[in-house]
Chain A
Amino acid sequence: MSLWEYANPVRFLNLSARVLPVFWGLAVACLIVGLIWGFFFTPDDFRQGSTVKIIYLHVPSAMMAINAWVMMLVASLIWLVRRHHVSALAAKAAAPVGVVMTLIALFTGAIWGQPMWGTWWAWDPRLTSFLILFLFYLGYIALWEAIEDPDTAADLTSVLCLVGSVFAVLSRYAVNFWNQGLHQGASLSLDKEENVADVFYIPLLVCIAGFVLLFIALVLYRTGTEIRLRRTRALQAREGRA
């Protein structure tokens, strides 16, 4: 059986009904374990003091904010090429989750920045391109909301997602060129010397897993909601036509 068959809405609903409890459970478990571990049972960093605990929120949410857009990009491509409705609806369902992730990352980053850099916000390349990503999210959601016909909306938002991705990458380079950075480098890459120490590293991984699972659970659930709304709409439309 090919993977595409799950793109049938009914099949998708059935499947997601079965796996959703698992994802919800795992997500909540990982988040609770990871965050409690991080908050209560990790030492303070010698330079950053207790603020290092923010890493358990900031890094996973920032990662998910970016990954959510990538997921939307893939889903949009699938919709454009294969025209599976579930795919378009999944992209629609993921966008608000992505926005909240972005907000969390922005907020925790800003709070972290105040003690670390002495400012809430700096026009650093990573921060700036992240902010632009936030704008793309807003535009994407606004476009979905503004268009009445669902298929038209799916097509147009997909095109926007594609073009937006290209420009997001372009902006990243532009911003890099425009200003030199202040923000942390890649601290998770395993081959680097200055990796985050293990005491911080393992609970961080648990938190990341928690955010990923939460994202999956939310997107599956929200996709189901979108499917139901779309079905309601279809039935109502037919009622009205009668």
Chain B
Amino acid sequence: MPDLGKYADAVLSAYGVSSLLLLLLVIFTLRKGRAARQALEDVEKRSKTNG
């Protein structure tokens, strides 16, 4: 851990919040992607069985 001096709060919160935002973005993207994939599979399966 580098010595951040008196600005530790600023630097750490900047890194913390930014990585949190990025992480959230990635997680939501992946979740939405997975849900979309699932929904599509369901519909495709249905349309195959129904004709």
Contact = CB atoms under 8 A, between A and B. Distances in A.
* A, B co-complexed: yes
Nearest to B33: A225
Q: Please tell me the size bucket of the interface on B.
A: 20 to 34
Interface in B1-35: 1-8, 10-11, 13-15, 17-18, 21-22, 24-26, 29-30, 32-33
Contact of A239 (B7, B29, B40, B46): B46
Nearest to A113: B10
B40 A115 contact: no
Contacts of A115: 7, 10
| Chain B, interface SS category | helix
A103 B21 contact: yes
Given A49-B5, A50-B2, A218-B29, A111 B43 contact: no
Nearest to B31: A225
Contacts of A239: 43, 46-47, 50
Contact of B25 (A96, A225, A231): A96
Interface stretch (A51-59, A78-86, A177-185): A51-59
Q: Which of A53, A61, A221 lies at the interface centre, i.e. has the most chain B CB atoms within 10 A of its CB?
A: A53
Q: What are the nearest 7 A-B pairs in CB distance? A: A50-B4, A228-B36, A225-B33, A235-B43, A100-B25, A57-B18, A111-B14
Contacts of B46: 239
Nearest to A229: B36
B39 to A, nearest CB: 5
Interface string A89-117: 00000001100100110011001101100
Contacts of A224: 33
Given A50-B7, A111-B14, A236-B43, A222 B21 contact: no
11 contacts: A39-B2, A50-B2, A50-B7, A104-B21, A221-B30, A222-B29, A225-B33, A225-B36, A232-B40, A235-B44, A239-B50
Nearest to A105: B18
Contacts of B40: 228-229, 231-232, 235
Given A238-B47, A239-B43, 9 more contacts: A49-B7, A50-B3, A53-B11, A108-B17, A108-B18, A111-B17, A222-B32, A225-B33, A228-B36
